[in-house]
Copies of this chain bind each other. A is one copy, B any other.
């Protein structure tokens, strides 16, 4: 809402003694302008503190100059999981270089989803980065059908999806975590998995199984407890695991938040970490370093993933449709817990 007295291109042109068209060309950085005209316009714009009216520009260019980062989650998850702000900061870095504004949208209710679809179709954003889409969600396809460029954070649940995505190598990360426990001499390795309707939950569990198999270890059914990526869920899953698999001496927890809960459960059960049970988390969230003991975990380069997502989206917006998905490597971060 510029003050009603906000300078227009017209007033800049008048002050510079040129036409509106010429003033517009200068401000758009067009080459076909004489140095004298350029000079005059720049100075006039400066003197008037001119900024271009975005609505007017958008009306003719059909570009809003902003893209949405859409988080499909209850707000509680949004703020308890460090993943989101990290993706955001990576995307933000790339977008702000291109003078594209990032709009964060949290979609918790069906009503909010509808509103967002309208918002996007109304031309408010030029594209969307979708984060944390659960199960077989139609949102990505809806947006695409409306002609809105979309990229996904994390591989899509629907394997037939053609929406480009950026994902960490969750399988390899889980394998590295398990191998670390094996290398440390753990004989009875269990896991607290993530929700099995989410690709990261699925993939990390698959990596867990695959690596134990590669080590010629059996995976008893009772060695696997399902969690929900929250601290409370990690705690209760770990309690269940300890009850039915008391010989447990190595634990892979599918994210750090659940691992924090696991540490509580182990402390409550009188098991020392890493003395009695070694624990490896996943994410390298901020709380990993702050935990007691500090968590050994699998780092996924979330900020970098955010950068990738932004670059992919900008490319698609610029018309380079067939952008390839990318899977980025993870890295084991050793701390005290394993």
Contact = CB atoms under 8 A, between A and B. Distances in A.
Interface stretch (A29-37, A97-105, A161-169): A97-105
User: How many copies make up the complex?
Assistant: 2
B64 A2 contact: no
Contacts of A101: 103, 105, 119, 124
A1 B147 contact: yes
A287 to B, nearest CB: 5
A231 B62 contact: no
Interface string A257-297: 10011011001000000000000000000110111101000
Interface string A100-137: 01111110000010010011011111110000000000
B79 A85 contact: yes
Contact of A146 (B3, B231, B257): B3
Nearest to A61: B55
Contact of A104 (B53, B103, B231, B264): B103
Contact of A287 (B6, B51, B290): B290
Contacts of A99: 115
Given A287-B290, A292-B263, A127 B1 contact: yes
Interface in A187-205: none
A51 B104 contact: no
Contacts of A75: 85, 89, 92-93
Contact of A53 (B59, B127, B232, B260): B59
A233 to B, nearest CB: 11
Contacts of A89: 75, 78-79, 106
Contact of A260 (B62, B106, B125, B290): B290
Interface string A59-89: 1001110100000000100111010111011
A294 B85 CA distance: 24
A101 to B, nearest CB: 6
Interface string A282-317: 000011011110100000000000000000000001
Nearest to A58: B55
Interface in A1-46: 1-4, 6
Contacts of A80: 82, 286
B53 A122 contact: yes
Contact of A63 (B1, B121, B290): B1
A55 to B, nearest CB: 4
A148 interface: yes
Contacts of A232: 289
29 contacts: A1-B125, A1-B148, A1-B317, A2-B62, A3-B147, A6-B123, A49-B121, A53-B122, A54-B64, A54-B122, A55-B56, A55-B59, A55-B64, A58-B58, A75-B89, A75-B93, A78-B85, A79-B286, A84-B85, A88-B104, A88-B106, A96-B115, A102-B104, A102-B105, A103-B103, A232-B289, A260-B287, A264-B292, A267-B292
